[in-house]
């Protein structure tokens, strides 16, 4: 029986049960399927959570047999499976994988796909639910969705459901996101549309709600009265390896990471408690945060609150790195930022006057994503403060990746006669506390999509409101008469000096990671 006093209890504790279905992956010979999707399904199978009569059909244009496709995926699974690779399990799991050759734009390919899915249904003796996973470039979404509609594959058969999962990037601005949304929603209802943001599938991101709403220690203090400021950092120690420069140079740090992943983290940290944990209650509260962001309009406001930068040559971990503009497939005169730092305000009762600082950068000294909550200092500290280090406020650090966990920095008395204080750390690590690695984000998200739980997927209004905010910044950078400057930082440093100044003006510093 759920505890009616606590609406969070049942949904948080129970596992969603994935329903029997056939998954069709469009773009199934690509990197995402090989590295993430098939290993996720394999690990779901290893945990015994794959629904009965499950099938996955890979859709791509190169000619190959089921056997060749399975062999290619096996090699990927050996490398990428969270729980390792077991030959016996793979032998049985791989029998549910099939390949379907077709161009995305070829109507005949969808007629044949329908025949193949119908044949599976006949073998099962019952129609199956269908999950269509768009693991293709976003330009391919439109033809794929139109063909699904034309063949009626978007309609569930015999009372079964049909759903679509869309990969990122979901648009490159508000206009393209709206265009994509119209195409998607012309084929699938919003409640059958699952826009992936893999950050939401991470255990630590989900834990933010538990931390905030299930701990009396934090919830009463989670507001402008007690919190001085909040930082969200996503640091990457890589550049444009693996041919990534071509895509990245058309996107940049703000579009690639902030509009989606970091705004999702911001929403979870800043949202009001939802009335329950249904997908819409949670997403209603998250979207209110994005809507309440104080707009940054025009080059002056953007220049004051947003710093963009590119890295110059330097070294990370002792390895020399070229500058951003010298990277493979990057325009030597590129105006795309590889680093961005933002100073934001959320105009709600709870967050009045509390700055939220977000930074994301490539070629920084280490790979880490974390949120740090910096509490206000007590009004008066009646102890010796001469040995107090700077930034000695209580800080709660939520490590999203790697080394998932949380740490709290508090002041303690140093042993000895004098009443001297020192900052100490209380640390919680998922790996040591729970004794096992957390499931991969894609495992959780695929299970949820198969179970019909859209809580951890972005809703249409979340995506569009985030783009609306981001578009103003992009506009000031690329279309105004006096755009704010592009700053520089050496690869291997923590970003441009101007980003330090952004916090310095408020008397703050970026947390040392």
Ligand X SMILES: NC(=O)c1ccc[n+]([C@@H]2O[C@H](COP(=O)([O-])OP(=O)(O)OC[C@H]3O[C@@H](n4cnc5c(N)ncnc54)[C@H](OP(=O)(O)O)[C@@H]3O)[C@@H](O)[C@H]2O)c1
Q: Which residues are catalytic?
A: 261
Of 134-142, 305-313, 451-459, 463-471, the window that binds ligand X (rule: CB under 6 A) is: 134-142
Options 59-67, 71-79, 80-88, 123-131: segment touching ligand X (CB under 6 A): 59-67
Find out whether 60 and 169 touch, Cβ atoms under 8 Å: no
Q: Which one, of 21, 33, 16, lies nearest residue 129 by Cα?
A: 21
Is residue 72 close enough to count as binding ligand X by CB under 6 A? no
Which residues, 6 or more positions from 191, have their beta carbon under 8 angstroms from its beta carbon?
454
Told to check if 231 binds ligand X by CB under 6 A, we report no
3-state SS assignment for residue 337: coil
The residue (of 39 and 439) whose beta carbon lies closer to ligand X is 39
| 168 binding ligand X? (CB under 6 A) | yes
Task: Determine the Cα–Cα distance for residues 119 and 132; give it in Å rounded to an integer.
Answer: 17
State the minimum distance, in angstroms, from the CB of residue 217 to ligand X.
Answer: 36
Q: How many residues bind ligand X (CB under 6 A)?
A: 19
CB of 478 to ligand X, least distance (A): 22
Closest to 168 in 3D by CA, of 457, 421, 431, 405: 457
Based on the shown chain and the rule CB under 6 A, indicate whether residue 79 belongs to the binding site for ligand X: no
Closest-CA residue to 344 (of 305, 316, 374):
305
User: Helices H, strands E: what count in the chain?
Assistant: 18, 17
| Residue (of 277, 307, 268) closest to 483 by Cα position | 307
Q: Which is nearer to ligand X, 114 or 168 (CB)?
A: 168
User: In angstroms, what is the minimal distance from the CB of 64 to ligand X?
Assistant: 8
Q: How far apart are the first and last CA of the chain?
A: 44
Q: Which of 74, 167, 285, 440 binds ligand X (CB under 6 A)?
A: 167
Rounded to an integer, what distance in angstroms lies between the CA atom of residue 360 and that of residue 494?
10
Nearest Cα residue to 412 out of 394, 436, 390, 396: 394
CB of 24 to ligand X, least distance (A): 12
The answer to the question of residue 28 lying near ligand X (CB under 6 A) is yes
Binding residue (CB under 6 A) for ligand X from 103, 190, 276, 300? 103
Tell me which H or E stretch contains 124.
helix 107-124
Q: Quick one: CA torsion of 170, 176, 181, 186, rounded to 10 degrees?
A: -130
Q: Contact between 329 and ligand X (CB under 6 A)?
A: no
Look up residue 497 and give its DSSP letter: H
Residue nearest to ligand X (CB): 30
Among 60, 257, 338, 441, binds ligand X (CB under 6 A): 60
Out of 43, 94, 136, 465, the residue judged to bind ligand X by CB under 6 A: 136
Q: Which of 135, 240, 268, 282 binds ligand X (CB under 6 A)?
A: 135
Selected range binding ligand X among 57-65, 113-121, 447-455, 471-479, rule: CB under 6 A? 57-65
Task: Based on the shown chain and the rule CB under 6 A, indicate whether residue 61 belongs to the binding site for ligand X.
Answer: yes
**Contact window for ligand X (CB under 6 A) among 119-127, 164-172, 322-330, 438-446:** 164-172
How are strands ordered across the β-sheet holding 129-134?
A: 97-101, 55-60, 21-26, 129-134, 162-166, 193-195
Nearer to ligand X (CB atom), residue 258 or residue 296:
258
For binding to ligand X (CB under 6 A), which residues are involved?
27-32, 35, 60-62, 103-104, 135-138, 167-169
């Amino acid at each position: 029986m759920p505890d009616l006093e606590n609406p969070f209890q049942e949904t948080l504790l129970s596992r969603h049960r994935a329903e029997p279905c056939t998954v069709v992956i469009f773009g199934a010979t690509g990197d995402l399927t090989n590295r993430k999707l098939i290993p996720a399904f394999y690990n779901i199978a290893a945990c015994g959570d794959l629904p009965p009569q499950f099938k996955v059909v890979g859709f791509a244009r190169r000619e190959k047999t089921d056997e060749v496709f399975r062999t290619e995926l096996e090699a990927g699974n050996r490398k990428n499976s969270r729980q390792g690779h077991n030959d016996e399990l793979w032998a049985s799991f791989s029998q549910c994988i099939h390949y379907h050759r077709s161009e995305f734009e070829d109507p005949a390919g969808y007629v044949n796909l329908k025949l193949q899915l119908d044949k599976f249904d006949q073998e099962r003796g019952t129609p199956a639910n269908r999950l269509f996973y768009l693991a293709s470039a976003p330009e391919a979404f439109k033809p794929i969705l139109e063909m699904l509609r034309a063949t009626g594959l978007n309609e569930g058969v015999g009372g079964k459901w049909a759903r679509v999962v869309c990969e990122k990037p979901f648009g490159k601005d508000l206009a393209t996101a709206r265009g994509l949304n119209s195409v998607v929603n012309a084929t699938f209802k919003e409640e059958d549309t699952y826009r992936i943001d893999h950050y939401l599938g991470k255990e630590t991101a989900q834990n933010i709600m538990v931390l905030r709403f299930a701990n009396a220690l934090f919830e009463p203090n989670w507001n402008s009265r007690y919190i001085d400021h909040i930082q969200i950092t996503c640091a990457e120690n890589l550049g444009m390896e693996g041919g990534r420069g071509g895509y990245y140079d058309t996107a940049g740090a703000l579009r690639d990471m902030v509009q989606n992943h970091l705004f999702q983290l911001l929403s979870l940290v800043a949202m009001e408690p939802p009335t329950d944990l249904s997908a819409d209650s949670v997403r209603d509260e998250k979207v209110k945060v994005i809507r309440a962001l104080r707009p940054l309009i025009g080059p002056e406001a953007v220049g004051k609150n947003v710093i963009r930068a590119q890295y110059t040559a330097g070294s990370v971990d002792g390895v020399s790195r070229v500058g951003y503009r010298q990277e493979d497939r990057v325009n030597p005169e590129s105006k795309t930022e590889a680093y961005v730092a933002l100073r934001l305000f959320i105009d709600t009762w709870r967050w009045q006057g509390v700055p939220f600082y977000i930074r994301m950068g490539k070629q920084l000294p280490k790979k880490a994503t974390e949120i740090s909550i910096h509490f206000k200092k007590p009004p008066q500290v009646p102890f010796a403060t001469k040995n107090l280090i700077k930034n000695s406020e209580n800080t709660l650090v939520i490590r999203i990746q790697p080394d998932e966990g949380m740490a709290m920095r508090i002041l303690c008395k140093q042993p000895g006669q004098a009443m001297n204080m020192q900052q100490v750390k209380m640390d919680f690590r998922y790996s040591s506390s729970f004794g096992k690695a957390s499931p991969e984000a894609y495992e959780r998200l695929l299970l949820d999509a198969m179970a019909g739980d859209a809580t951890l997927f972005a809703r249409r209004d979340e995506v569009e409101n985030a783009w609306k905010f981001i578009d103003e910044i992009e506009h000031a950078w690329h279309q105004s008469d006096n755009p704010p400057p592009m700053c520089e930082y050496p690869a291997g440093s923590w970003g441009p000096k101007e980003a330090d100044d952004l916090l310095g003006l408020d008397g703050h510093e970026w947390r040392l990671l």
